Amino acid sequence: MDLDLGLVADFLVLVQERHYGRAAVRLHLTSSALTKRVRRLERQLGVALVERDPAGVLAVTSAGRRFAAAAVPLIAQAGAARDSARAAPARYAADRRPRCS
């Protein structure tokens, strides 16, 4: 299963804000773009994560609450892995330098 971590992170902001408009502002997206991203995540997972209200207020489903709880450490670990890779010595660039004999 491919899981887009960007979509997961956006969903977690939505869960924190509990409102599409406020979450979209935090993410520098339109509400429509955020809605599309959450729907794409729901398709990836095969479950509904939120119940939408025309006013932009939402209720997180039980599946959404379980997913959010599991996703918090997932996103934290992904960030730590990224930071670890960036902190590693740049061996690749050194290995590609022409050698003089």
Average pLDDT of the chain to the nearest whole number? 89
Q: Is 99 a member of any domain?
A: no
**Placement of tokens 């330098």 in the chain:** 97
Which SS3 state, helix, strand or coil, does residue 61 take?
A: coil
Q: Is residue 91 part of a domain?
A: no
Instruction: Please state at what angle helix 20-27 crosses helix 31-45, rounded to 10 degrees.
Output: 100
The percent of residues in the chain predicted with pLDDT above 90, rounded, is 72
**pLDDT digits 0-9 by tens, 60-80:** 999 999 999 999 999 999 999
Q: How many Cα atoms are found within 13 Å in the side-chain-facing hemisphere of 69?
A: 7
pLDDT in tens, 42-63: 999 999 999 987 776 679 999 9
Task: Evaluate whether residue 36 is within a structural domain.
Answer: yes
Percent of the chain residues topping a pLDDT of 70: 84
Helix (H) or strand (E) holding 60: strand 58-60
Query: What's the total number of domains in the chain?
Result: 1
